[in-house]
Amino acid sequence: RMYPCIDADRMALAGFSMGGSGTYHLAAHRPDQWAVAHAGAAFAETYHYTRGGGASGGANDQSGAPWYEKVLWGLYDTPCYTRSLCTNIPFIGYNGADDDSTYPQSTSIMEAAYAEHGARMELILAPHTPHEYEATALTEVVRRMQRHMAAGIDHQPDEIRIQTRTLRYGSAHWLQMTGLEEHWVDSRLDALRHHPTAGPEGA
């Protein structure tokens, strides 16, 4: 609203490390707001990341957390929203192959989450690189992002899939959940729109 020159249909969401984790969070929850999302060297969920692997280390072990805290991880953790992410928005991941803070731990979790929904996460892996961008890989990240930004957001896709645990994040484009039989459990809604053609069979 403050800058009318910005094309809202061609906004990109991107971040590195903690910023990449924020990208996961925002892209999975609001996948219809961005033309493309990119997360570099980012953690994607709470339990496995804080139990001992990655930068947080064992001092932040959450395995003894009370049940209600674990339930509320479902508000944030990206694997709980992967179906929304992999269906509704182009997503580009990045990791350095020598980055022991998020690779392969967080990356493998998200690759498995994508695979669960029959998708493959687009990942750029820079060899011999620690927790930073490698120049050639960063150039490729930007190139791919620009391609999706040029295409813009498709606000009327024929297929939408939503995965959530709360109605707060239960919508994408023209599809919206209006109720859940039980909150804070894995809930999914898929919709496929058929365009009318000549004859009743095509309706």
Q: First vs last Cα of the chain: how many Å apart?
A: 40
pTM: predicted TM-score of the whole model, two decimal places: 0.89
CB within 8 Å of 57: residues ≥ 6 apart = none
> How far apart are alpha carbons 161 and 134 in whole angstroms?
34
50 pLDDT higher than 90: no
Q: What's the pLDDT tens digit per position in 70-121?
A: 899 999 999 999 999 999 999 999 999 999 989 999 999 999 999 999 999 9
The average pLDDT across 194-203 equals 63
Q: Tokens 């750029």 belong to which residue?
A: 124
54 pLDDT higher than 50: no
In what helix (H) or strand (E) does residue 148 lie, and over which residues does it extend?
helix 135-151
Nearest to 76 by CA among 43, 112, 41, 33: 43
Q: What's the pLDDT tens digit per position in 134-184?
A: 999 999 999 999 999 999 999 999 999 999 999 999 999 999 999 999 999
pLDDT band at 59 (very low <50, low <70, confident <90, very high): low
The average pLDDT across 52-66 equals 56
pLDDT band at 203 (very low <50, low <70, confident <90, very high): very low
62 pLDDT higher than 80: no
Q: What is the pLDDT of residue 66?
A: 84
pLDDT band at 17 (very low <50, low <70, confident <90, very high): very high
Q: What angle do CA 110, 20, 108 make, to 5 degrees?
A: 20
Give the count of alpha carbons within 13 A of 71, CB side only: 8
